[in-house]
Structure 1
């Protein structure tokens, strides 16, 4: 009996060891089969754009999983700087020179030349090739043509001071300058009133304009500002691609205000994060090479209304996107000057004017 029990014990032990071994083998195989992640910080895929971006990624079927983390331009920049010593992102997709100049200054971006480098405007490339333009956006005040210019309606706005008049009280929304669109639009106002003796380099007249723009805006900004453009407000801040896509998706007839000094043109930029992880940085290069390519940007532009920086992609699209760019005069903007002053401008607006 003792021998039988001993033999049964040995057999049970062997079965248990074998089972554990198989489970361990399966766990190891499952772990090895799991794709590594490429984390992309972006301010470009909110709303309907998210589905477009994820669809493009699924079609490409990378050997790694692409994880998009959406944030406003300023928040994205601040997060990357805070994580400098322990990077959590591998790519920064979107953001203007305001954000990328800060990232370059903090040595967060790694130099890299994408395969589509010859197809874009080289004047928009960052110092030491650490960021590259993949789209050219314009930013605007836009308005619903059915809600302005008629009887008992506000007049069609021609320039920013028009929005400070009583007829425009609670008639439009704004974006705060913590995000890229808001920052660039407020900067485009302030640079028209530069004064070495003024507060943060801006004259009293310039700050009064911004204060009055804030005061007349609807408070709070509608959560679904695209839907609000149908009837709740007459207009608001928007980017060029949004003018086209929102008008199409919401069936609204939109138009844009064209100040006499021109419209801000700004590149949407992409950069590779200096993570120190060789595999992740190679994956980041693969993603950037793919994202900025003519075929991908032609598809992205057609579906989102955003103009590609890639000249070949822009030629493929043509239509409304090309017509919008051809229609507008670019406002002269000194990005380095704006970058040097933007933090102080943002702080003043947040403390004194924010709703």
Structure 2
């Protein structure tokens, strides 16, 4: 009996030992020690996909500079350049199957059109609060990069501050300037459209054709009747410098480069009514398949560091207030003397297409 009892106790003991060993083996299998090779590297660089970017702000070396700077920051970008109005039309046409990932340049008027067409996706970058108040889209779809003044320029050997026109209206109302200024005929581009808008909006009339009185349309007809049409691909500043057409539109951000290129420093006019002042913006395209890379790019391009470098390189006036100190003295001085023309961007955005169509079909010959 005692032998039987001892045998039973021995069997039970061995069973407990085997169970315990099996449990320990299971635990070790479930929680193996991890090696450093199995863990993702904490400093592994973020992979940025190639971005397609539409812009009207890639001329005069700006596009090449941006591509180089972006590459150094880890971005591969392809810039597709076009006039602002043309770029806007293309983005709207492609909205159901977007090609672009990001857009920058353009202006408030065109971004409003893009927003209405659901082309943009809302994204507020970290630097948005550094932009001068009132320049960003309050709904968060686009944010300011560069301020640009649309100016009436003149050849300083042909005119002085006293003899030059004092306003755009002088060009076509004073016979002395007839045939000597470039008329804004390339209406596929933003700058000529803004020159026209700056004149037409002075004659706003809700009962008039497309919101403009007949007097306003008469003024625009005189603008084209007495000017020299712009030629696609021809640099107006070259004609200003040579005296061929010593009067016409210049953009503040390109003045220094043009002066260096042609050896002539254009004089500029500051009309009492003010000058059209636009803000180049940046936004992400709704439907991009590279959203995370696009967000990182927006954070980079609008930062005070990048905008400060851009301002110093291209004599621009940044919208980012923390970058203004890096702008050249001459640029800061120019902007301190300029008055912005009061323009209702919503009104302009709603009517500019009709204005352009009327001008191209009925006024320009």
TM-score, with length taken from structure 2: 0.81
**Which residue of 53, 56, 67 maps to 2:66?**
53
**Which residue of 253, 256, 278 maps to 1:266?**
278
Query: Which protein has the larger Cα radius of gyration, Structure 1 or Structure 2?
Result: 2
Provide, for residues 69-95 of structure 1, a one-character-per-residue CA deviation record: whole Å limited to 9, x for no partner.
Answer: 001111011100100110000001111
- TM-superposed deviation, 1:247: 2.0
**Which residue of 125, 129, 134 maps to 2:140?**
129
CA distance in 1, matches of 2:288, 2:209: 41
CA distance in 1, matches of 2:204, 2:135: 24
The reply to whether residue 288 of structure 1 matches residue 301 of structure 2 is: no
Aligned runs of 1:16-35 on 2, under 5 Å? none
Is the deviation greater in 103-112 or in 194-203? Answer: 194-203
CA RMSD of aligned residues (A): 2.0
CA distance in 2, matches of 1:205, 1:246: 36
Maintained 8 Å contact 2:101/2:288:
no
Instruction: Give the SS at the match of 2:332.
Output: helix
In the alignment, structure 1 segments of 5+ residues that lack a partner are: 1-33
CA distance in 1, matches of 2:142, 2:129: 14
CA distance in 1, matches of 2:262, 2:71: 27
CA distance in 2, matches of 1:304, 1:354: 34
The reply to whether residue 340 of structure 1 matches residue 341 of structure 2 is: no
Maintained 8 Å contact 2:312/2:326:
no
Maintained 8 Å contact 1:142/1:243:
no
Instruction: Give the SS at the match of 2:228.
Output: coil
Provide, for residues 133-155 of structure 1, a one-character-per-residue CA deviation record: whole Å limited to 9, x for no partner.
Answer: 111111111111111249xxx93
- TM-superposed deviation, 1:122: 4.0
CA 1:238–1:199: 2 relative to 1, 3 Å = same
- TM-superposed deviation, 1:288: 1.1
Provide, for residues 271-310 of structure 1, a one-character-per-residue CA deviation record: whole Å limited to 9, x for no partner.
Answer: 1001252xx1111111111111112111211222221101
CA distance in 1, matches of 2:132, 2:169: 33
The reply to whether residue 169 of structure 1 matches residue 178 of structure 2 is: yes
- TM-superposed deviation, 1:53: 2.1
In the alignment, structure 2 segments of 5+ residues that lack a partner are: 1-46
Maintained 8 Å contact 1:146/1:253:
no
**Which residue of 303, 306, 311 maps to 2:316?**
306
Partner of 1:315: 325
The reply to whether residue 224 of structure 1 matches residue 245 of structure 2 is: no
Maintained 8 Å contact 1:139/1:181:
yes
- TM-superposed deviation, 1:96: 0.9
Partner of 2:51: 38
Partner of 1:197: 207
Aligned runs of 1:204-283 on 2, under 5 Å? 204-221=214-231, 223-231=234-242, 232-277=244-289, 280-283=290-293
Instruction: Give the SS at the match of 2:179.
Output: coil
CA distance in 1, matches of 2:326, 2:265: 25
Partner of 1:78: 89
CA distance in 2, matches of 1:171, 1:123: 37
Aligned runs of 1:79-98 on 2, under 5 Å? 79-98=90-109
